[in-house]
């Protein structure tokens, strides 16, 4: 019960890291609002997580829409009786050679991965201030720390998200709100699987990816959810403005 009584908003909660985080947080005593733009996926996630003693709310919104977010976050806060934490797990990947990438593709990746968390934080900030404390955890990427080929937009967006968290931690410290980032390596999510399953030889492609890692396996969503749990709990009360590489050794390998 490391999050007993906490009220947390998790974006990108219909699948992958967001869903795993919501599941772990509920297990640890939090009441959780799941936010996603995928209506069917969100309904399925809520159904799979329901039945326990903790309160679950759902919020349908695109993180790039300021108007949708404003309404969704207010509704989530109202349903939970306030908010004192946010996990920004919504994200978008793009594999594209730079000379083939369009300005619209660039803008979309930055809108989801960088502007989206900014808008979520702005929408949630009144509730976090009212709570008198708060935690924000941004799910960035190992690509923020070591670049990947054919992913200029993705790398730029995630590196920006890490620095956004550092700067925001300075602005919000006076309100007893901590901000940290997690930089995952490869994690077994639909987004990661799509990155290699379309190759001519998926097994060979996966093997080449794993060669970059000291711990030679694909990470599990719970590996990241457990890190988010630490950064949301009182165990990390003296941690803010930090970025954690949860990446099987990819950063230094």
Residue with tokens 């940290």: 180
Annotation marks residue 213 as catalytic: no
Contact 2, 29 (CB under 8 A): yes
Pairing label, strands 31-36, 56-60:
parallel
Instruction: Report helix angle 39-49 to 16-27, nearest 10.
Output: 30
Q: Which residues 6+ apart lie within 8 Å of 107 measured at CB? A: none
Please state, as a whole number, how many other Cβ atoms lie within 10 Å of the Cβ of residue 200.
6
* Catalytic annotation, pick one of 154, 213, 230, 238: 154
- The DSSP element (H or E) to which 197 belongs, if any, is helix 190-197
| Strands, sheet with 177-184, edge to edge from the N-terminal-most edge strand | 56-60, 31-36, 7-11, 85-88, 134-139, 177-184, 243-246
Q: How many helices (H) and strands (E) does the chain have?
A: 9, 7
Q: Which residues 6+ apart lie within 8 Å of 148 measured at CB? A: 154, 155
Catalytic positions are: 154
């Amino acid at each position: 019960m490391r999050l007993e009584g906490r009220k947390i908003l998790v974006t990108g909660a219909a699948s992958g890291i967001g869903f795993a985080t919501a599941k772990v947080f509920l297990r640890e005593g939090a009441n959780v609002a799941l936010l996603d733009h995928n209506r069917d996926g969100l309904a399925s996630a809520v159904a799979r997580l329901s039945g326990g003693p903790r309160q679950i709310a759902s919020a349908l919104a695109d993180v790039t829409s300021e108007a949708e977010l404003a309404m969704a976050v207010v509704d989530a806060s109202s349903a939970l009786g306030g908010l004192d934490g946010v996990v920004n797990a919504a994200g978008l990947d793009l594999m594209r050679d730079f000379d083939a990438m369009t300005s619209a593709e660039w803008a979309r990746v930055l809108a989801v991965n960088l502007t989206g968390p900014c808008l979520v934080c702005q929408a949630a900030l009144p509730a976090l201030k009212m709570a008198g404390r708060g935690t924000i955890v941004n799910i960035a990427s190992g690509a923020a720390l070591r670049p990947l080929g054919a992913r200029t937009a993705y790398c730029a967006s995630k590196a920006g998200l890490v620095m956004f968290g550092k700067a925001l931690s300075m602005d919000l410290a006076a309100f007893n709100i901590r901000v940290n980032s997690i930089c995952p390596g490869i994690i077994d999510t639909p987004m990661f699987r799509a990155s290699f399953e379309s190759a001519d030889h998926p097994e060979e492609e996966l093997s080449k990816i794993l060669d970059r890692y000291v711990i030679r396996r694909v990470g599990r969503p719970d590996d990241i959810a457990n890190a988010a749990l630490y950064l949301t709990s009182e165990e990390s009360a003296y941690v803010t403005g930090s970025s954690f590489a949860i990446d099987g050794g990819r950063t230094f390998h």
